[in-house]
Amino acid sequence: MTDRIFSKDATKFAQNIYATRKGRVREAVLKEDLAFLLQHASPLHVLDAGAGLGQVNQWFAEAGHRVLHLDGAEDMVASARQRHAQAGLSQQYEYRVAPLQSLGEEPLQFDLVCCHAVLEWLADPFAALQVLSSKVAPGGWFSLMFYNRTAKLMANMTYGNLDYVLAGLQVKKKVRLSPQRPLEIPQVKNWLSQLPLTVVQHSGIRCFNDYIKEAERIDEQELIALELQYRRAEPYRSLGRYQHLLLRKEK
């Protein structure tokens, strides 16, 4: 089992994820959760590990914060660099093509560390969390988003894919952009409990969107409003396709 690096997939991500309703819902919830940090009075030093095309960290650059954009795929970083240059934000960035584990060798610390939709692609998620936690400065924040196994199981039951569920969500033919190692919420929280971090916020992302049939009939803005309203209310939160935990390190 090895880490998954998305080389030569920048265009697919842009078209199949970020340019879709599910991508827009995901970004809307993340932006609402992170709004108070975006509005921080003094400039923050932000690390985005596994940053992909850089949509989320661009919000911070636009707000005047400094960003280290780190990703293991060269084409992802190149596409992000071009995107940010077109927005006139290049001066806010440092870019690196490297795995997040490479940070373990450096003494750098950040006011905010982001790791979104990365853990489910790693061979050793807990080791990655240990590295990332060490990069959060005292009093700093850690924004973690991961793919939720419970939601994947529930969605496939809703779709009637009983054989897939009975097979433990394993198939011989892998879908390239669909995580094959989704994570359980209690497991991730157990890992985090072993680190010097405290959960401050916990939101579900796409609590409703992924269960809607004929989604084109639903007004997108009304759907986003409901996603925001119920993102922290159970049982809806635990059914979100992604889980977003915002944690803080003690000063």
Which tokens go with 70? Answer: 């780190």
Q: Is 163 annotated as a binding residue?
A: no
Q: Is 84 annotated as a binding residue?
A: no
Query: pTM for this one?
Result: 0.90
For residue 10, pLDDT beyond 70: no
* Structure confidence by residue, pLDDT tens digits, 233-246: 999 999 999 999 99
Q: Is 26 annotated as a binding residue?
A: yes
Domain residue ranges in the chain: 10-148+183-249
CATH architecture of 10-148+183-249: 3-Layer(aba) Sandwich (3.40)
For residue 13, pLDDT beyond 80: no
* Structure confidence by residue, pLDDT tens digits, 119-176: 999 999 999 999 999 999 999 999 999 999 999 999 888 888 888 778 877 765 555 5
For residue 32, pLDDT beyond 80: yes
* Average pLDDT estimate for 71-88: 95
